[in-house]
């Protein structure tokens, strides 16, 4: 009878086998923990990239809406009885897909203008109207979704206070945004079967929320995890318990402080970890097989090789997906190191700047800005590095061939898992065309359309600036009022076309007669005004007045005939003739009428006179 193996040997073999199996399972647990952490980190990076894109899209949309609000408020103040919002819609200033309605309400809340027919006649009961009336100029206000004004369709009110020049309340201009505009944009983004995209107010009310394929508007989220996390810090990520749809998710969010909004992107844990679940099952099966066949080292080696291959495959697939997102993005993207040097660019950024990637990589990102903008950009970089957050600005860059390039630029700090900054991600959207349109609108709002000179509003602004500067320096300033002599006769005899041509010629001659720091403006039909910002003595203003009279005396061609025009000019100086804007304007106006009484084609300095004498004014 053959003896069995010694007890000591059997125990040693068993102990060795147990040790090998235990070591194998410990290694397997460590690999699973590492792979799970990598998978979660990749999902969070993807969510943060989508959140940046949503933040940029939302901010750009609301900036364009605020430009519409500002422009309509200005037009209403300038022409309260003539504003026709349907004309703005016909001119293409109101984007149909985004804006359902624009309305202007006076100081009592009565709707005085609307871009489309509405049964409502007042918004006095709306919370945003009361907010603007009671809080002064608080900027743009984006309220919770509501019904009304637009055939009971849900809409998102965006409003701005209308303030008179003295700061008093003149009413409210409100834009009703179509929530489906945001829902349509969100619908183009792939968030999986149970993902979530959210645009939520800091008041806890969702403006638009898409969970899977379902879009909701106005959902109350004040008790949600998102609002608790946002109260702790403006931007970040967390794991949601999924109370609303009973779907646990990885959530990333960012706050648009200027608009009181939060954008959030969530990927369900089930979708995010589907690949890892398959990988974990394979690991566990491999571990069980290794425990049973520990003596077959080859099988264990093959299982290890197979595990490594699958991990590498998943990593390559993730890298390929991120690379495709980077390369195919519709906006310019650059990775910039903490010193401001370009590490990597996508094709769209090369197209925007007109340079190949080889010319951009390794250069300072600020090298492609205008020289006068570089100092401010460097300060922004240092501030961004210190805050470890994000910045949204409009910036000028130099295109290789086409000159100036305006972009909407978003820059965010990317940190490692320990919170240490690693590099910046810069996203650039070409806004050159919209910037040009904006500048044109701003120019038209502050300049006379016929002559191109500053209008009354800009004249008051320039005069106010000159007076503040003179007060600080203890120096003098002057204002002139000019009125064309017998201009009505030119209109009656030659027609309005000739009258317009004459006004344009007068504007040209007036501007050419002034010094470089002075301002000429058209403030009425045939009335012009001049701001002289640097006046050492009265003779300085008189010298300018004589140049103006001499320039106007030269004959001009109107309607095929030679015609001459003269002007009457009044001068008031600061501080002798007035200590504020209104006082100087009244004094200059009085002096101009003195020049008319003196026989026209002359200038006069203001001199105090009884009110009865000032009332006896002669016609132009």
Q: Tell how far CA 19 is from the center of its chain.
A: 63
Alpha-carbon distances of 360 from 66, 172, 217, 346, 393, rounded to whole Å: 35, 47, 44, 10, 21
For the chain, the residue count is 620
Per the structure block, which two tokens stand in for 451? Answer: 């002559």
- Strand 556-558 to 156-163 pairing: unpaired
DSSP-derived secondary structure for 180-235: HHHHHHHHTS---SS-EEEEEETTSBEEEEEETTEEESS-B-TTSHHHHHHHH-SS
Q: Other C-beta atoms within 10 Å of 589: how many? A: 19
Which one of 314, 483, 526, 589 is the catalytic residue?
Answer: 526
- Strand 561-563 to 567-574 pairing: unpaired
CB 216 within 8 A of CB 209: yes
CB 44 within 8 A of CB 38: no
As a whole number of angstroms, the distance between CA 440 and CA 447 comes to 10
As a whole number of angstroms, the distance between CA 553 and CA 542 comes to 17
As a whole number of angstroms, the distance between CA 593 and CA 228 comes to 68
Lookup result for tokens 């945004």 = 177
In SS3 terms, 554-593 reads as CCEEECCEEECCCEEEEEEEECCCCCCHHHHHHHHHHHHH
Angle, helix 7-78 to helix 297-328, in steps of 10 degrees: 10
- Strand 519-522 to 602-605 pairing: unpaired
Task: Reply yes or no on whether 526 is catalytic.
Answer: yes
479, β-bridge pairs: 531, 572
Indicate which residues carry an active-site annotation: 526
């Amino acid at each position: 009878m053959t003896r069995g193996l010694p007890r000591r040997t059997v125990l040693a073999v068993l102990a060795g086998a147990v040790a090998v199996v235990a070591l194998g399972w410990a290694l397997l647990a460590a690999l699973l923990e590492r792979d799970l952490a990598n998978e979660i980190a990749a999902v969070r990076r993807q969510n943060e990239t989508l959140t940046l894109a949503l933040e940029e899209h939302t901010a750009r949309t609301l900036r364009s809406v605020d430009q519409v609000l500002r422009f309509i408020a200005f037009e209403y103040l300038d022409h309260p009885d003539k504003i026709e919002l349907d004309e703005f819609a016909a001119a293409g200033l109101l984007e149909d897909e985004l804006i359902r309605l624009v309305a202007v309400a006076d100081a009592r809340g009565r709707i005085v203008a609307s871009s489309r027919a509405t049964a409502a006649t007042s918004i006095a009961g709306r919370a945003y109207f009361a907010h603007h009336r009671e809080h002064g100029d608080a900027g743009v206000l984006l309220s919770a979704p509501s019904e009304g004004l637009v055939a009971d369709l849900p809409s998102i009110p965006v409003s701005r206070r209308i303030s008179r020049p003295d700061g008093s309340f003149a009413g409210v201009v409100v834009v009703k945004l179509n929530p489906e505009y945001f829902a349509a944009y969100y619908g183009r983004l792939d968030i999986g079967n149970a993902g979530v995209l959210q645009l939520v107010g800091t008041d806890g009310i969702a403006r638009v929320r898409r969970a899977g394929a379902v879009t909701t508007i106005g959902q109350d989220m004040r008790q949600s995890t998102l609002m608790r996390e946002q109260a702790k810090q403006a931007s970040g990520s967390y794991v949601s318990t999924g109370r609303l749809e009973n779907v646990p998710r990885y959530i990333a969010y960012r706050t648009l402080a200027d608009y009181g909004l939060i954008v959030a992107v969530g990927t369900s844990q089930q979708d995010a970890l589907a690949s890892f679940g398959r990988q974990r099952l394979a690991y566990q099966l491999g571990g069980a097989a290794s425990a049973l066949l520990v003596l077959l080292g080859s099988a264990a080696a093959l299982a290890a090789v197979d595990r490594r291959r699958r991990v590498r495959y998943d990593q390559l697939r993730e890298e390929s997906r991120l690379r495709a997102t980077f390369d195919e993005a519709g906006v310019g993207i650059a990775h910039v190191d903490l010193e401001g040097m370009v590490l990597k660019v996508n094709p769209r950024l090369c197209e925007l700047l007109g340079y190949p990637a080889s010319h951009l990589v390794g250069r300072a990102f600020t090298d492609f800005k205008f020289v006068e903008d570089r100092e401010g950009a460097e300060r922004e970089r240092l501030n961004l590095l210190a805050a470890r957050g994000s910045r949204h600005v409009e910036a000028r860059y130099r295109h290789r061939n086409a000159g100036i390039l305006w972009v909407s630029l978003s820059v965010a700090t990317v940190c490692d898992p320990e919170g240490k900054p690693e590099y910046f991600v810069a996203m650039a959207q070409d806004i050159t065309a919209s910037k040009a349109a904006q500048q044109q609108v701003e120019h038209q709002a502050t300049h006379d359309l016929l002559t191109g000179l500053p209008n009354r509003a800009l004249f008051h602004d320039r005069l106010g600036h000159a007076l503040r500067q003179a007060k600080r320096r203890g120096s003098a300033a002057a204002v002139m009022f000019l009125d064309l002599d017998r201009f009505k006769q030119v209109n009656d005899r030659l027609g309005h076309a000739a009258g317009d041509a004459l006004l344009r010629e007068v504007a040209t001659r007036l501007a050419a007669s002034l010094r470089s720091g002075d301002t000429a403006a058209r403030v009425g039909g045939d009335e012009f005004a001049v701001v002289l910002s640097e006046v050492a003595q009265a003779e300085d203003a008189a010298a300018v007045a004589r140049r103006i009279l001499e320039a106007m005396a030269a004959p001009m061609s109107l309607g095929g005939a030679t015609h001459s025009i003269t002007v009457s000019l009044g001068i008031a100086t600061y501080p002798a003739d007035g200590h504020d804007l209104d006082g100087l304007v009244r004094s200059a106006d009085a002096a101009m009428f003195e020049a008319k009484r003196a026989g026209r084609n002359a200038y006069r300095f203001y001199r105090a006179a009884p009110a009865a004498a000032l009332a006896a004014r002669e016609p132009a």
